[in-house]
Structure 1
Amino acid sequence: MTQEQKTSRSFAGIAGIIAVATLISKFFGLVREQAIAAAFGAGGVVDAYNFAYMIPSFLLILLGGVNGPFHSAIVSVLARRKQEEAAPLVETMTTLVGGLLLLVTIFLVIFAPNLIDLVAPGLDTVRDGAFIKESAIVQLRIMAPMAVLAGLIGIGFGTLNTANQYWLLSLSPLFSSIILILGLGVLALQLGSKISSPEYAILGGMVLAGGTLAGAFLQWLIQQIAQARAGLGTLRLRFNFKQPGVSDVLKIMGPATFSSGMLQINLYTDMYFASFIPSAPSGLRYSNILVQTPLGIISNIILLPLLPIFSRLAAPENWTELKLRIRQGFILTAFTMLPMGALMMALSDPIVRVVYERGAFNQTDSALVSSILVASGLGMFVYLGRDVLVRVFYALGDGQTPFRVSMINIIFNALLDWILFKPFGAPGLVLATVGVNFISLLMLLWLLDRRLDGLRWREWSLPILGLATASLVGGGASYGTLEVLQKFLGEDALQIQLVQISIAGLVGIGVFAVIVAMMKLPEIEIFVSRLRERFLRR
């Protein structure tokens, strides 16, 4: 067996573990959003939660996310060090990061009213704006300790990644969803149909915020238990900030954090404009979970196994193989995200109605979320493709380049938001994000081409164009099938909608698969065959 085949088998095996664990986690995340939608619909309670959660979410994604800067920095450094050096380094970084983020927590509690005014200035102009602001302040103060938890979770993700503990790594967000679902369940048992009534709106928001905080704490606690059992550090405080590993981590973590932070500033810009559009924050949230569920699964499958590989191939003498691995990640991204985006666009209306339309969530809410989902489907490939390239720069020890690109794109994002939000409303904000991610992708490709002494553009671009064409044809076939089914079967009953999504989706996937099979791309053939072998053997 060749080394490439061994690597492909290893990659496929890890990908299989990640796929199952992430699928379970994302399923419960979707159930969580369904519970929120059924309880509160797309209105003031969820709008307030979205504004309050902006800063904790910003920190959780920025610092604590899988493939975030803390995770990437820890993996990049620990992958090149001996196992006995891991625990002291992890404990030192935990002490340093925890202390700094405790100050951030105190700041959030004290200045919560000012921060809500900053992130949502349009609340004074929309219906129920005063209530939304009051509820958001309360919720932000409840969730403030997530600042500390975010950094510690990010370090834990990176530590577990280097120890090849992919199952827990991908499964841990599940616990946060379960806690929030249980909290909403208890509230529903107590209040019944009154759960969505205005007099209990503040209480509903407090349950959302408290459940979110408790879930993050449980996620961190489970990570700590796994780290201790693997000998990768405990809660011991270490203040040896001068050890070489700390400076290596900070060298990547600092610029990477700022770079990812710039992307989150783009989110702030989106929410700034969304505060002027009634129900837009809720609509963006519900649409985002539908996109992030498959995107998060595929992201973990592709990025988690590839990041250590990129790091091991960072030396110039290994750049030939590094380019092959980058191409592998890029083509697998296109193979998964392009058809997924096309199906999201073709089937947006029945998908939203099946997932959300019950309880307080009505047809008006469905129309809003469906329109946003169509815009989101356009950008799934460029979003993940950009992330693949960013991880290559991190593996090369270069966090500055993604940071500079992100700085430039803040201007593009604000400009596109300003141009698109009035004529298109909430979908315009998503289109602006798609445009910014596309610009980032092109810039990073051009810079990586210069950094690695040339990429084989023809060998990269032709397969991507072929996959894009196959996705377009498959999406068109899916949409046409849906139109025919709706004409003969109607579109109101839940069972009929499920049948229509299933048949139309299978038609689209089948058409895409036939075209891709004719292309005979080696990366896809090897990956699919290894996954098939693994699951059949099980």
Structure 2
Amino acid sequence: MSDKKKATRSLVGIAGIVAVATLISKIFGLVREQVIAAAFGVGPVVNAYAYAYVIPGFLLILLGGINGPFHSALVSVLAKRDKSEAAPLVETVTTLVSLFLLIITVILIIFAGIFIDLLAPGLDQQAKLIAVQQLQIMAPLALLAGLIGIGFGTLNAADQYWLPSISPLFSSLAVVIGVGVLAWQVGGNLNTPNYLQLGGMVLAGGTLAGGLLQWIAQLIAQNQAGMGKLRFRFNWRLPGVTDVMKVMAPATLSSGMLHINVYTDLFFASFIPNAAAAMRYGNFIVLTPLGIISNMILVPFMPVFSRLTTPENWPELKLRIRQGLLLTALTMLPLTAIFIALATPIIQVIYQRGAFKAADSEIVVPVLMAYGVGMFFYLGRDILVRVFYALGDGETPFRVSIINIVLNGLLDFLFYKPFGTPGIVFATVGVNILSMIIFLGILNRRLHGLPLKEWSIHLLSLTGISVIAGLGTWAVSWGWEQIFGNQNLWLQLLQLTVTMAVAFGLFMILAIQLKLPEVDLLLTRVIQKFNKS
């Protein structure tokens, strides 16, 4: 068996583990959002939580997420070093990061009111008071975010993928239990004046408890793998620490600059009633498959990119970049077609119950459609950023992010009045498109040429196929409603099952005609999984 086949099988095996674990985690996340929607609807508690969670959530995604800069930096450095060097290096990095993030935690608690005022100047007074209290409760997530991110990178470097991918379910489980118990005690709907503040506290407390559980689970596994314990170590000159920080620091700044766009979006959203809550609900639906597929693609590709950075390996690196982009298109574009064509029944099935009414669905549907448009560009940009990280270059993504901040603010300003909440989402889509163009141009020069024309033709062909699949899916869905209606949950579920099958079927039948090796790779793996099941 060739080394290439071994590498491919290794990538596929890792992707399978990550996909299953992330799927389980996302299912718990979906249940969490359904519980929140049923309890609070599109109301002040969720609107306040959307702002209170901005900074803790930003840090969890930035520092504590799979494929975040902490994860990427540790994987890129530890993958090139002997395992015996890992524990002291990880403990030193953990000490340095913890001291800094502890200061951030204290600042968030003391100045919570100021942060909420800056984030949401248009927020009504009731929601603002709830948001301040929620932020103070969730402030320790700043420290936990860094520890979780280090755990992700360390465990992946030790070839452990199951626990890091499944551990986010602890957060979802804690929120579900907290909100569920409170709703049971008070008898149902918490979206009433008497329970708004208490409901907000329980929602924030459950989020904090979930983050703590996630970190403890990782720490135990990290210790068992011999990759470091909970120990203070101040040897900043230890070999490898500088290498980690050289990637981690600019990568964190780069990703942080990207998340400033989230702040900008929410700043403008605060002037639109319930926009933040609508964006939260719509974004979660898109992030569910996006998170699963991004982990399948990014997690196994990151160490591969890191091993192919020398000039003699550039042909293989270019092939892996192509694979990453085309696999992204093959998985994201049919989902884009589905989220645009079936936005209404999707929102009705997932959220419309309890305090979440038909009027709330009408607010969230166009937001979901807008998020669907940007799926490929979001993940495609992340693929290219990881290539720069593997090359030891965190500065280029950082510089591009600065450009993006200005562009995002301008587009938000231009779009939020005429297009409302979807306009804010489209501003982010535009930023990601520009990022991909810039990154591809720089890589084309740095790697002495990329087959950009060939890649563009393939991507445009897949985009055209997704349009056809979307139109076909919409037609089938419309016909279904005319014949059977959609007046109950079972009919809606059956409608979604049939129409989503049509979308994927049409897309793959047409994509096969392009005879792309990535299509064969994807189909082969799906068939293998099906046969094993």
Give the shorter-chain TM-score range. Answer: over 0.9
Partner of 1:3: 3
Aligned residue for 1:454, secondary structure, equals coil
Mapped pair 1:500 → 2:490: no
Mapped pair 1:40 → 2:3: no
TM-score normalized by the length of structure 2: 0.99
Tell me, in whole angstroms, the C-alpha distance in 1 between the residues paired with 2:39 and 2:529. 41
Tell me, in whole angstroms, the C-alpha distance in 2 between the residues paired with 1:38 and 1:63. 30
Partner of 2:346: 351
Partner of 2:337: 342
Alignment of 1:1-80 (within 5 A): 1-80=1-80
CA contact (8 A) 2:189 2:354 kept: no
Q: CA deviation at 1:227?
A: 0.2
Partner of 2:387: 392
Aligned residue for 1:196, secondary structure, equals coil
Q: CA deviation at 1:14?
A: 1.2
Tell me, in whole angstroms, the C-alpha distance in 2 between the residues paired with 1:231 and 1:151. 20
Tell me, in whole angstroms, the C-alpha distance in 1 between the residues paired with 2:70 and 2:128. 32
Pick from 398, 402, 405: which aligns with 2:400?
405
CA contact (8 A) 1:195 1:204 kept: yes
Tell me, in whole angstroms, the C-alpha distance in 2 between the residues paired with 1:195 and 1:529. 48
Aligned residue for 2:392, secondary structure, equals coil
Tell me, in whole angstroms, the C-alpha distance in 2 between the residues paired with 1:278 and 1:530. 45
Partner of 2:453: 458
Partner of 1:89: 89
CA contact (8 A) 2:37 2:351 kept: yes
Q: CA deviation at 1:485?
A: 0.9
Deviates more, 1:7-16 or 1:169-178: 7-16
Amino acid at match of 1:184: V
Partner of 1:209: 204
CA contact (8 A) 1:13 1:534 kept: no
Tell me, in whole angstroms, the C-alpha distance in 2 between the residues paired with 1:515 and 1:533. 21
Partner of 1:422: 417
CA contact (8 A) 2:189 2:355 kept: no
Mapped pair 1:468 → 2:473: no
Tell me, in whole angstroms, the C-alpha distance in 2 between the residues paired with 1:524 and 1:248. 37
Q: CA deviation at 1:535?
A: 5.2
Partner of 1:141: 136
Q: CA deviation at 1:529?
A: 1.5
Amino acid at match of 2:39: A
Q: Deviations over 1:265-285 (max 9, x none)?
A: 000000000101111110000
Partner of 2:271: 276
CA contact (8 A) 2:38 2:189 kept: no
Amino acid at match of 2:474: Y
Mapped pair 1:431 → 2:426: yes
Deviates more, 1:518-527 or 1:356-365: 518-527
Q: CA deviation at 1:194?
A: 4.9
Partner of 1:262: 257
Amino acid at match of 1:278: P
Q: Deviations over 1:497-526 (max 9, x none)?
A: 112111111111111111111111112212
Q: CA deviation at 1:536?
A: 2.7
Tell me, in whole angstroms, the C-alpha distance in 2 between the residues paired with 1:93 and 1:434. 34
The percentage of counterpart residues that share the same residue type is 59
Tell me, in whole angstroms, the C-alpha distance in 2 between the residues paired with 1:3 and 1:88. 32
Q: CA deviation at 1:530?
A: 3.7
Q: Deviations over 1:224-275 (max 9, x none)?
A: 0000000000001100011131111110011100100011100000000010
Partner of 2:440: 445
Q: CA deviation at 1:3?
A: 2.7
Partner of 1:222: 217
Q: CA deviation at 1:531?
A: 4.5
Instruction: Please provide the CA RMSD for this pair.
Output: 1.0
Partner of 2:484: 489
Alignment of 1:135-174 (within 5 A): 135-174=130-169
Q: CA deviation at 1:534?
A: 5.1
Q: Deviations over 1:452-486 (max 9, x none)?
A: 11101132112211211111111110001111111
Aligned residue for 1:122, secondary structure, equals coil
CA contact (8 A) 1:180 1:212 kept: yes
Tell me, in whole angstroms, the C-alpha distance in 2 between the residues paired with 1:4 and 1:326. 15
TM-score normalized by the length of structure 1: 0.98
Aligned residue for 2:240, secondary structure, equals helix
Tell me, in whole angstroms, the C-alpha distance in 2 between the residues paired with 1:504 and 1:147. 42
Aligned residue for 1:491, secondary structure, equals coil
Tell me, in whole angstroms, the C-alpha distance in 2 between the residues paired with 1:433 and 1:533. 37
Q: Deviations over 1:103-129 (max 9, x none)?
A: 011101111111110100112xxxxx1
Amino acid at match of 2:388: F
Tell me, in whole angstroms, the C-alpha distance in 2 between the residues paired with 1:176 and 1:532. 33
Q: Deviations over 1:191-248 (max 9, x none)?
A: 1135221111000000000000000000000000000000000001100011131111
Partner of 1:126: none
CA contact (8 A) 1:330 1:388 kept: yes
Tell me, in whole angstroms, the C-alpha distance in 1 between the residues paired with 2:363 and 2:8. 42
Q: Deviations over 1:7-34 (max 9, x none)?
A: 2221111111111111000011011000
Amino acid at match of 1:230: A
Tell me, in whole angstroms, the C-alpha distance in 2 between the residues paired with 1:534 and 1:479. 29
C-alpha spacing 1:41/1:82, structure 2 compared with 1 (3 Å): same
Tell me, in whole angstroms, the C-alpha distance in 1 between the residues paired with 2:313 and 2:188. 62
Q: Deviations over 1:378-408 (max 9, x none)?
A: 1000000000000000000000000101100
Task: Give 5+ residue unaligned stretches, structure 1.
Answer: 124-128
Tell me, in whole angstroms, the C-alpha distance in 1 between the residues paired with 2:245 and 2:440. 25
CA contact (8 A) 1:8 1:526 kept: no
Tell me, in whole angstroms, the C-alpha distance in 2 between the residues paired with 1:4 and 1:534. 21
Tell me, in whole angstroms, the C-alpha distance in 2 between the residues paired with 1:142 and 1:344. 34
CA contact (8 A) 1:47 1:282 kept: yes
